Amino acid sequence: MDTKTVLITGASSGIGKIIAEYLNERGYSVLGTSRNPASVSDISFPLLTLDVTSDESVSQLVHQLEADGTRVDVLINNAGYGLAGPLENFTMDEARAQFETNFFGVVRMVNAFLPVLRRQGGGVIINTGSMAGLIGLPFQGHYSASKYALEGYLAALRMEVLPFNIRVFNINPGDFRTGFTANRRIIGTVDPIYRRKFDQLLTMYEHDENNGAYPIIIARKIEKLIRKTGGYKVRYVIGKFDQVVGVPLKRLLGDTLFEQLMMMFWKIKK
């Protein structure tokens, strides 16, 4: 088997780092990225500079890889972060910033690397979406929206590029123990009217993340997807059973009943 080269965005920490280490150990040629590779230690694979919010940074990376004659067989769009706050209090700049990384960051990478994959005769694109892209999270509304946006984008992309032998997969993780919780940002102003509910839900989210699954299960699934040749699923929901069951439960109960159940769970009305 030829050694496949895998490019993983956001590989300095958390899910991206574990995927990179796992694939590296299994003989893939792994290239990770970070906005600031010099600040990252204890990494067993090359870490390249990339800010997915910058057109210039993305095109510099493409040119650098082309100049080095590096082939990319698999692109894993994983970089992302959470920005929390009541939706009413988000400034437009804050809302755009969330989308700039989580949604347009993926669009930027896909636009830059699709021509490369097409010229090579095919490839694989894997994206770290979220269960928040399937279930709306109160006080993480723009995070959820950025991940919901990915769902529609990837569904269309998958069909557009299949004729070019490019396979697109979407992973929807539940809660995982990573740097995500510490790296989550809070918007500049939280109106006191929302404060109690906001703090209460944020505490619940943090608790679930800190007790979440370990990303190795995502890495294992991704390795299988890279090697996959036959049929595919539109999404791969991964995480602890009590969380992933939410997706089939939503389908079974219907959107309205499921939302009412979630409001009871989150004690929204109290």
Ligand X SMILES: NC(=O)c1ccc[n+]([C@@H]2O[C@H](COP(=O)([O-])OP(=O)(O)OC[C@H]3O[C@@H](n4cnc5c(N)ncnc54)[C@H](OP(=O)(O)O)[C@@H]3O)[C@@H](O)[C@H]2O)c1
Instruction: List the interface residues with ligand X, window 116-145 (CB under 6 A).
Output: 128, 130
Q: Which is nearer to ligand X, 9 or 170 (CB)?
A: 9
Q: Which is nearer to ligand X, 79 or 149 (CB)?
A: 79
Work out how close the CB of 181 gets to ligand X at its nearest, in angstroms, rounded to a whole number. Answer: 7
Instruction: Measure the CA–CA gap between 52 and 62, rounded to whole angstroms.
Output: 12
Location of structure tokens 């796992």: 22
Q: Which is nearer to ligand X, 21 or 209 (CB)?
A: 209
Handedness of CA 77, 75, 229, 165 (dihedral sign): positive
Q: Which is nearer to ligand X, 1 or 38 (CB)?
A: 38
Q: Of 22, 28, 143, 205, which one is the catalytic site residue? A: 143
Near ligand X by CB under 6 A: residue from 21, 51, 73, 151: 51
Q: Does 79 bind ligand X (CB under 6 A)?
A: yes
Near ligand X by CB under 6 A: residue from 4, 6, 10, 139: 10
Long-range contacts of 263-267 (CB under 8 A, 24+ apart): 266/138, 266/201, 266/204, 267/200
Q: Does 35 bind ligand X (CB under 6 A)?
A: yes
| Token digits of residue 51 | 């800010």
Burial annotation 14-34 (CB, 10 A radius, 16+ → b, else e): bbbbbbbbbbbeeebbbbbbb
Q: Does 98 bind ligand X (CB under 6 A)?
A: no
Q: Does 197 bind ligand X (CB under 6 A)?
A: no
Instruction: Measure the CA–CA gap between 79 and 127, rounded to whole angstroms.
Output: 9
194 is catalytic: no
Q: Does 97 bind ligand X (CB under 6 A)?
A: no
Burial annotation 172-189 (CB, 10 A radius, 16+ → b, else e): bbbbbebebbeebeebee
Q: Does 158 bind ligand X (CB under 6 A)?
A: no
Instruction: Measure the CA–CA gap between 225 and 105, rounded to whole angstroms.
Output: 22
Work out how close the CB of 265 gets to ligand X at its nearest, in angstroms, rounded to a whole number. Answer: 17
User: Are the CB atoms for 250 and 134 separated by under 8 Å?
Assistant: yes
Q: Does 21 bind ligand X (CB under 6 A)?
A: no
Work out how close the CB of 121 gets to ligand X at its nearest, in angstroms, rounded to a whole number. Answer: 28
Q: Does 178 bind ligand X (CB under 6 A)?
A: yes
In the complex, the residues that contact ligand X under the rule CB under 6 A are: 9-16, 34-36, 50-53, 78-81, 101, 128, 130, 173, 175-176, 178-180, 183, 209, 212
User: Which amino acids are annotated catalytic?
Assistant: 143
